[in-house]
Amino acid sequence: MKLLVIGGVAAGTKVAAKYKRVMPEAEVTIVTKGRDISYAGCGLPYYIGEVIEGKDQLIVNTPARFAALTGVLVQTEREVTGLDSHEKKAIARNLRTGAEEIYEYDACVIATGASSVVPPLEGVRLPGVFTMRTPEDAIETRDYLKEHQVKKAVVAGGGFIGLEVAENLLAQGISVTVMDMAPQIMPGFDREMADYAKRHLEKKGIRVLTSTKLEGITGSQKAEGVKTDKGFLPAELVILSIGIRPNTGFCQEAGVEMFKGTILVDDKMRTNLPDVYAAGDCAMVTNRMTGERQWSPMGSSANMEGRTLALALGGEDVSYPGVLGTGVVKLPGLNGGRTGLTEEAARAAGYDVETVLAVTDDKAHYYPDASFFATKLIADRKTRRLLGIQVLGPGAVDKMTDIGVMAVTFGGTLDQMTSLDLAYAPPFSTAIHPFVTAVQILKNKLDGVMESFTPAEYMDGAAADYRIIDVNPAGPTIPGVTYVDLNKVQGEMPQQGFFGMGKEEKLLLVCAKGKRAYLLQNRLKHYGYTNTKVLEGSSFFNIIRTGNAAEKVTVSPEDITRVKALGCLHNKGTNNFNVRVITRNGKVTAEENRCIADAAALYGNGDVVMTTRLTMEIVGVPYERIEDLRDFLAGAGLETGGTGSKVRPVVACKGTTCQYGQLDSYSLSEKIHERFYHGYYEVKLPHKFKIAVGGCPNNCVKPDLNDFGIVGQRIPTYNIDSCRGCAKCQVADICPMGAAQVTDGKLVIDEEKCNNCGRCIGKCPFHAADEGTYGYKVYIGGRWGKRTAHGQALDRIFTSEEEVLSVLEKAILLFREQGNTGERFADTVSRIGFEKVQEQLLGDEILARKEEIVGASLHLKGGATC
């Protein structure tokens, strides 16, 4: 038996290795176009992010190692150009020699996989533009990042690989924009789940643009930006992750039946040609629930298809049942998993669909690092069979998804799953497993025990004529609506209704996650209220809209405090606010400027002002339009904020665009913004923590009047032997500090006076001052305002940017751990003592305790009032 396998990544190597084990005497040959076989395609984004350190780790098996392990003959760098099913032979071109080669077979498996789609657009072949399909793609991308010190990147494509690449670029301190032509990211998830993920990514600092078409890439020698139908995006690196296309060009003339480039196979992986099979990303199988054709190019299904095919070729009566569309993705601080049918697909398949969105704890709430699952279940009303599950959360969403896989695979019904005996211990789960809890909530909904609106229905305006009732456990949380304390709803309510609500009035009950809203509904039903709805996921999952421009609401002190935390400052005596737009360092792109101007015209009074911190403010925004404004800005990747007891947006001078500039202060401040404003956004500090970056000792942005200041330096190196003792010394004349003097015929530098401005370098005609080292001076404990304090400079001048960023992180951690609530960093430094603070900042001990410090219950209130 001669088995020829065309292609050698996942399905190809799997079918070859397994068949050789089933039929050891068989002659098995792999012919593959590439030099590598069996590589970790799904691990490529993590190589870019240096989670996978070595390029060798991307290669699961080399051709030689695979051949020795399995007994399979591996022929690399051979491209199959034709297939003759009558003569049972494949024609290939040797890519090393150009010679034509013939491979005869008794059975042939096409496992050629797929390649990245590269659209025929301007600039797609420029340096700096990459796809993400092979190890070479990831290796070249990582090398390019380092060589060119990339600061801005655009990822075209919001699928799993594109989003994982974006996460890993962000972790490298790169400003990332993800764009997609589709109206949502994360295909295979329903739109409300994708919308939540989009909002999460934007909070983490990844700009997400949907319904945005790629039109080209600009640049002369390398990529410099991306043209879209919505405008221009600056970018030094572009990742094209807009889809893949099956590698089946040679199959058309061979008579293989195909659909949109994929090879159609049956449950034995057979094509329409005799003794010709296909598996993996080039093959189209079926959906095991609907029986309809489905293309599911995943490494997991490719391996299972390969194994099934090998067993079938070996004579076993096996078949491949099809795919469920199972997938899992890792995002920054959020994971997503899915399997089965989406709500839309289930309706299209003819099911009578009911869904629920349940927000639950992912483990015992009291256990450290406990968080949440946002779980969407899709079921059939008639049979109560589970049809699909989608899960978001920072933890083990794969566990939830895999339970769903088992339930869907074996036709499980909700009633069968309400008491599943799943594993429980506080570090792993809740006493009633979160999967079971979600099932029970959906069962309550189907049984009429709970009446609710889904997030999708709420997004579509189903609750437009409902009065919102706030049932949050922490007191009034939703601005401008009636608050009801659940604990006080006891006994029969007065005839006129509770809190003025008629018993027939339409009431939308909203709490933190949904549980208390359900409890209130249960009580209100008992007391005769007939028109209540619970909002599934409540304020945790949904953006709660409390009115429109025509409706005026009274803004309570609590509401003013709440929106202040979002960067919205109250104009006293009005219902209007100034809304701060975070611009990283005072620099905005032309596209961002247009968006801010449009937002000011649409939602404010048309004015945009600058604060002293180089933050833009949109003036005169009515309270009831704040959320609409924030949504509008988020569409362009902009955010509001910059208030509260936390790391504040950094300010910077013009840096190297100034004649005195010693460092690229814009670049450094953008890294600080991503690493510390975004990275520490959820970390409460004793008070505000302000950072300034000055490009030179002129101190235009007053680094020494900030909690942490960085000043660009150029430290002169003097060659006194070259000094001629000139009567008119060029070095002394240029020194603005009077630190350089000629004394007794030689140049003398007063180091106490020298501020390392570097202006003297290169000014001596006899080369006494030709050299200089670029560096950073760091000030701590400065403060401007009612009690002005000048910061003190650390003793060291740093020559590494990473050293400065490390010291900055240590300063933030020290302030969080050792500062008292309500005091500024200047007070902390004064109380502890500068020398002791400096000792900690120059050591490594405090950084080693980062997780402990960040996770501690400190400064729950904080001292900042603006």
| pLDDT single digits (tens) 317-333 | 999 999 999 999 999 99
Q: Which two tokens stand for residue 723?
A: 């000094």
Q: Given a cut of 90, is residue 100 above it in pLDDT?
A: yes
> In the predicted model, what is the mean pLDDT of residues 87-98?
94
> In the predicted model, what is the mean pLDDT of residues 663-672?
88
Q: At what angle do helices 665-672 and 801-818 cross, to 10 degrees?
A: 40
**Rounded Cα gap, residues 27 and 105, in angstroms:** 9
Structure confidence at residue 550 (pLDDT): 36
Residue 577 corresponds to which amino acid? Answer: F
Please name which of 453, 481, 485 lies closest in space to residue 468, comparing C-alpha atoms.
481
User: Cβ of 257: how many Cβ atoms within 10 Å?
Assistant: 12
690 band by pLDDT with thresholds 50, 70 and 90: very high
Question: With contact defined as beta carbons under 8 Å apart, do 622 and 560 qualify?
Answer: no
Q: Please list the residue range(s) of the chain that carry CATH number 3.50.50.60.
A: 2-115+246-313, 118-242, 333-447
pLDDT digits (tens, 9 = 90+) for 786-797: 889 999 999 999
User: Cβ of 102: how many Cβ atoms within 10 Å?
Assistant: 11
Structure confidence at residue 347 (pLDDT): 96
Structure confidence at residue 632 (pLDDT): 84
CB burial class (10 A; 0-12, 13-18, 19+) of residue 300? middle
Q: Which residue has the higher pLDDT, 555 or 67?
A: 67
Structure confidence at residue 495 (pLDDT): 47
Average pLDDT value over all residues in the chain: 90
> In the predicted model, what is the mean pLDDT of residues 156-167?
94
- Pairing state of beta strands 532-535 and 608-610? unpaired
According to DSSP, the residues that pair with 323 across neighbouring strands are 287
**Phi, psi dihedrals of residue 747, rounded to the nearest 5°:** -70, 130
**Rounded Cα gap, residues 748 and 726, in angstroms:** 12
Q: Which two tokens stand for residue 748?
A: 């003398």
What distances in angstroms separate CA 75 from CA 70, 80, 83, 275, one per listed residue?
A: 14, 11, 17, 21
**Rounded Cα gap, residues 367 and 581, in angstroms:** 36
Q: What is the CATH number of domain 557-640?
A: 3.30.70.3340
**Rounded Cα gap, residues 308 and 331, in angstroms:** 32
Structure confidence at residue 498 (pLDDT): 58
655 band by pLDDT with thresholds 50, 70 and 90: confident
**Rounded Cα gap, residues 831 and 818, in angstroms:** 10
Structure confidence at residue 492 (pLDDT): 59
Provide, rounded to the nearest whole percent, the portion of the chain with pLDDT above 90.
67
Q: What is the DSSP string of 472-509?
A: -TTS--STTSEE--GGG--SPPPTT-GGG--TTS-EEE
Residues in contact with 853: Cβ distance below 8 Å, sequence separation at least 6, in sequence order:
813, 816, 817, 846
Please name which of 330, 312, 332 lies closest in space to residue 320, comparing C-alpha atoms.
312
Structure confidence at residue 500 (pLDDT): 66
**Eight-class DSSP state of 766:** T
Q: What is the CATH number of domain 2-115+246-313?
A: 3.50.50.60
| Side-by-side strand order, sheet with 214-218 | 214-218, 225-228, 231-234
Catalytic residue among 42, 658, 700, 754: 42
Structure confidence at residue 552 (pLDDT): 47
pLDDT digits (tens, 9 = 90+) for 770-783: 988 999 999 999 99
**Out of 293-302, 337-346, 377-386, 836-845, least confident range:** 293-302
151 band by pLDDT with thresholds 50, 70 and 90: confident
What distances in angstroms separate CA 563 from CA 545, 578, 597, 814, one per listed residue?
A: 14, 11, 21, 28
Q: At what angle do helices 834-842 and 801-818 cross, to 10 degrees?
A: 130
- Pairing state of beta strands 293-294 and 283-286? antiparallel
According to DSSP, the residues that pair with 214 across neighbouring strands are 228
What distances in angstroms separate CA 522 from CA 355, 434, 538, one per listed residue?
A: 20, 21, 16
Structure confidence at residue 496 (pLDDT): 46
Structure confidence at residue 548 (pLDDT): 41
**Rounded Cα gap, residues 417 and 407, in angstroms:** 8
Q: What is the DSSP string of 525-580?
A: HHTT---EEEETTHHHHS------TT------HHHHHHHHTTTEEE-TTSSEEEEE
218 band by pLDDT with thresholds 50, 70 and 90: very high
Please name which of 760, 679, 686, 683 lies closest in space to residue 718, comparing C-alpha atoms.
760
> In the predicted model, what is the mean pLDDT of residues 376-387?
97
Question: With contact defined as beta carbons under 8 Å apart, do 477 and 562 qualify?
Answer: yes
Q: Is 825 helix (H, G, I), strand (E, B) or coil?
A: helix
Distance of CA 26 to the CA centre of its chain: 48
Q: At what angle do helices 299-313 and 11-22 cross, to 10 degrees?
A: 30
586 phi-psi bin (left φ>0, alpha ψ -120 to 50, beta other):
left
**Rounded Cα gap, residues 791 and 367, in angstroms:** 41
Q: What is the CATH number of domain 453-541?
A: 3.40.250.10
29 sits in which H/E element = strand 27-31
**Rounded Cα gap, residues 131 and 280, in angstroms:** 20
> In the predicted model, what is the mean pLDDT of residues 568-597?
86
**Rounded Cα gap, residues 278 and 111, in angstroms:** 6
> In the predicted model, what is the mean pLDDT of residues 830-849?
96
Structure confidence at residue 497 (pLDDT): 55
E-state strands within 251-322: 258-259, 262-264, 276-278, 283-286, 293-294
**Rounded Cα gap, residues 678 and 203, in angstroms:** 8
Q: Given a cut of 90, is residue 159 above it in pLDDT?
A: yes
The CATH superfamily of 118-242 is FAD/NAD(P)-binding domain (3.50.50.60)
> In the predicted model, what is the mean pLDDT of residues 407-413?
95
Helix ranges restricted to H, 127-250 = 135-148, 160-171, 191-204
**Out of 241-245, 508-512, 664-668, least confident range:** 664-668
Q: Which two tokens stand for residue 842?
A: 């120059």
What distances in angstroms separate CA 673 from CA 204, 586, 590, one per listed residue?
A: 11, 11, 20
Question: 42 catalytic, yes or no?
Answer: yes
> In the predicted model, what is the mean pLDDT of residues 350-365?
95
What distances in angstroms separate CA 639 from CA 362, 409, 467, 584, 688, one per listed residue?
A: 29, 43, 29, 10, 19
Question: With contact defined as beta carbons under 8 Å apart, do 72 and 17 qualify?
Answer: yes
User: Cβ of 231: how many Cβ atoms within 10 Å?
Assistant: 16
Structure confidence at residue 661 (pLDDT): 83
**Rounded Cα gap, residues 343 and 748, in angstroms:** 79
Structure confidence at residue 551 (pLDDT): 41
**Rounded Cα gap, residues 825 and 820, in angstroms:** 9
Q: At what angle do helices 434-446 and 397-409 cross, to 10 degrees?
A: 50
Structure confidence at residue 573 (pLDDT): 76
Which of 3.40.50.970, 3.50.50.60, 3.40.50.300, 3.40.350.10 is the CATH number of 333-447?
3.50.50.60
Q: Please list the residue range(s) of the chain that carry CATH number 3.30.70.3340.
A: 557-640
Q: Which residues of 808-822 are buried (b: 16+ CB within 10 A; e: fewer)?
A: bbbbbbbbbbbbeee
Q: Given a cut of 80, is residue 40 above it in pLDDT?
A: no
Question: With contact defined as beta carbons under 8 Å apart, do 269 and 242 qualify?
Answer: no
Structure confidence at residue 865 (pLDDT): 74
Structure confidence at residue 554 (pLDDT): 67
Structure confidence at residue 312 (pLDDT): 95
Q: Given a cut of 80, is residue 851 above it in pLDDT?
A: yes
Q: Is 213 helix (H, G, I), strand (E, B) or coil?
A: coil
> In the predicted model, what is the mean pLDDT of residues 152-167?
94
